[in-house]
A and B are shown apart, each in its own frame.
Chain A
């Protein structure tokens, strides 16, 4: 009996560890961000994926880009990027990790979008951190 319990605990623990270190499959909806530098100055980029299929990209407190997205399984379709030819759609595979997401190109002909999206990794913004933001 003791052995069974020990085995069960081990099984649960190993399952939990695997879940935390590997990819998971949450929703893209919500806020994701990236802290970096641009021209030697701090640059905070926040991507807000809205439930209505709109993404607002905000750089240091100002909207940088607003475009559309659609998710199908592990694939995301981007459209409406002003840097790309009209009606151009970029298709990327979504890789979800514990607190981040990465976009890997599947098919896209828009070089600007590829440069800004392929291998791009964003961190999940904790929902309680937004609640504390001041307007």
Chain B
């Protein structure tokens, strides 16, 4: 009699366990990039279980956000504009103030930040260990239980896979196809390297730099973010911020560390004559000491050049380029 009663229960447990096992085996990530991707999009890493890394680093916007500052848990406002996490393979520093030097160091900070995901890293690791799927996934890939080190490794591996080199500009320069871009783009590239002097700060594979510069967005009043100086504790670094990559920049508006410029044209107008926008800047770089004197055509050409740095897959709506 007892056996008859227990049999359906045992059967049910067996079916549920088998379903769970089958489901896990179907979707377990194949490598650490795939695991990092799963974690990047999973709200399990926020205290409220409502936001993930991808809530602010939106794939359709080249893994940046569309607002000046992003909203974290409980709609808490962040303090700086969300930068893209694409094309950071050559980056020497991460975050606007360059507070860390590796993607692995970077990966855990937003999880613990109270304005972002607000979950202590130990708690995040505890959640992953208590989750059958992630436990299996970490053991499969790393042969170890989830840990803060492995969580950082997986997230960093995914972020580092987000490279784009499939732009019209790449077709022109790398693939030597002069018909890939318009004459306006070509003029814009010449301006970028010449009269506009953008190349002094934005150069290399991703039009970035390992330096920090003060472009004049600090006046100690309404623009009061001291930037790099808070990390180095050097007054010479007041108002300096990391020079970010320009690839996919057309998709990452608004711009600058505080998201104060809504369009690329506003950015170009600013660089053309910073004093017109912020006459009382402190410690502004000498490269921006005088107006450039760009014509309307120059500005349009520069904008078209910047737009030519957009990944064609992203432009077509395929957000996760080069992901496995």
Contact = CB atoms under 8 A, between A and B. Distances in A.
Interface in A57-88: 58-66, 80, 82-83
B315 to A, nearest CB: 17
Given A60-B205, A62-B165, A62-B205, A82 B174 contact: no
Interface residues of A, number: 15
Q: Taking each of B165, B176, B189, which has the highest tally of chain A beta carbons within 10 Å of its own beta carbon?
A: B176
Nearest to B173: A63
Nearest to A56: B173
Q: Label chain A's interface by main secondary structure.
A: strand
B257 to A, nearest CB: 23
A126 to B, nearest CB: 16
Contacts of B176: 48
A65 B171 contact: no
Given A61-B165, A135-B177, A82 B203 contact: yes
Interface in B166-222: 169-171, 173-177, 189, 193, 199-200, 203-206
A120 B22 CA distance: 57
Contacts of A66: 173, 189, 193
B153 to A, nearest CB: 16
Contacts of B165: 61-62
Contacts of A59: 205
Contact of B173 (A58, A60, A80, A135): A58
Contact of A80 (B169, B171, B193): B193
A83 B200 CA distance: 7
B205 A64 contact: yes
Contacts of A82: 193, 199-200, 203
Nearest to A50: B176
A63 B193 contact: no
A135 B175 contact: yes
A64 B176 CA distance: 14
Interface string B247-277: 0000000000000000000000000000000
Give me the 7 closest cross-chain CB pairs, A-B, nearest first.
A62-B205, A82-B199, A63-B173, A82-B203, A135-B175, A61-B165, A62-B165
Given A48-B176, A58-B174, A63-B174, 15 more contacts: A58-B173, A60-B205, A61-B170, A61-B174, A62-B170, A62-B205, A62-B206, A63-B169, A63-B173, A64-B204, A66-B189, A82-B193, A82-B199, A82-B200, A135-B177
